[in-house]
Amino acid sequence: MGKIAFVFSGQGAQYPGMGKELAQVSPAAKAVFDLADAIRPGTSEQCFNGTKEDLTITSNTQPDMFAVEVAAASALLEAGVTPDVLAGFSVGEISALGFSGAVSVEDAFRLVCRRGELMQIASNEVSTGMTAVVKLPPEKVEELAAAAEQVYPVNYNSAAQTVCAGLSSSMADFRAAVKAAGGRAIPLKVAGAFHSPFMHSAAVGLVEVLAPMEFKEPNYPLYSNVTAQPYEPGKFKELLSKQLENPVRWQAIVENMAAAGVDTFIEVGPGSTLTGLIKRILPDATALNVEDAATLKSAVEAVKG
């Protein structure tokens, strides 16, 4: 076996009940939820018993996702599965940041709480939406987005899937153009145009939040959404704020990890969206996910034998 990557889920994967089993079977996971509740009371209750509507509100989604993701990663570590490298998709990058040790889990959780609030505020400023485009190469999606009014490619997920964000008023025409070009456009149920220029005010706000924070060398190399390369010393504040209004280069991150020797990817957190993308990018890679007791057990067995 080559190197192991822990990859942390992105917004949109959340669901009611997420993380509950992990807290029941893993003391390390429960400790993460206890920490989250101490800083943001009700976080575990929201994860375990909240409604789908509650979990869709960005200011709730992000701290809740963080808690589940770090809990899943901590449960794996407790079971003797150690990563060689880390990456997270959008909000997952903040979870990975806290798990990496570059900052404390407490500081990373406070950061993700404020990040969610800032992105919620930015989302409320103008009516926007996001659409996943499949069956078209990224270059064609870029061309179609450039022809639309304020529509931007924001997630480069795989060779055949690119997500775009933009004005709600532009989305119907954009989706029609995608269909005419032979692609398929799938509207996403998210609360804003994440990773686009519409998040500029949130990025500016995050600069202020990051200013007093101190970062150190992470325990595991952490790949940046903006550069698709491991963070360099002194770049955390700059890249974490830029991340909000720049595309997530997921395909490049996965390919760069593989080039560095990673052949096993474990998605930590709700759902298996990243697992599916990784299998499309690297069909021969081992892609697992950990979100509950059963997937934790099977991932540990797969890695440790």
CB contact at 8 A, 136 and 181: yes
What is the C-alpha separation between 250 and 229, in angstroms, rounded?
11
User: Is the separation of the CB atoms in 102 and 218 below 8 Å?
Assistant: yes
Known catalytic residue: 200? no
Sheet with strand 262-268: strands edge to edge: 222-223, 85-88, 3-8, 262-268, 286-290
The catalytic position among 44, 59, 74, 90 is 90
Residue of 100, 195, 224, 241 marked catalytic: 195
Determine contact, residues 193/154, Cβ cutoff 8 Å.
Answer: yes
Of the candidates 252, 219, 274, 204, the one whose C-alpha atom is nearest the C-alpha of residue 96 is 219
Residues 6+ apart with CB under 8 A from 302: 286, 288
DSSP for 18-87, please give it. Answer: TTHHHHHH-HHHHHHHHHHHHHSTTHHHHHHH--HHHHHSHHHHHHHHHHHHHHHHHHHHHTT---SEEE
Reduced DSSP (H G I as helix, E B as strand, rest coil) percent helix, strand, coil of the chain, to 5: 55, 15, 30
HSE-up of 288 (CA within 13 Å, CB side)?
Answer: 23
Backbone angles phi, psi at 283, to 5 degrees: -55, -25
- Do the strands 128-134 and 161-167 form a parallel or antiparallel pair, or are they unpaired? antiparallel
Q: b/e string for 241-255 if b means 16 or more Cβ within 10 A?
A: bbbbbbbbbbbbbbe
195 catalytically annotated: yes
Active-site residue numbers? 90, 195
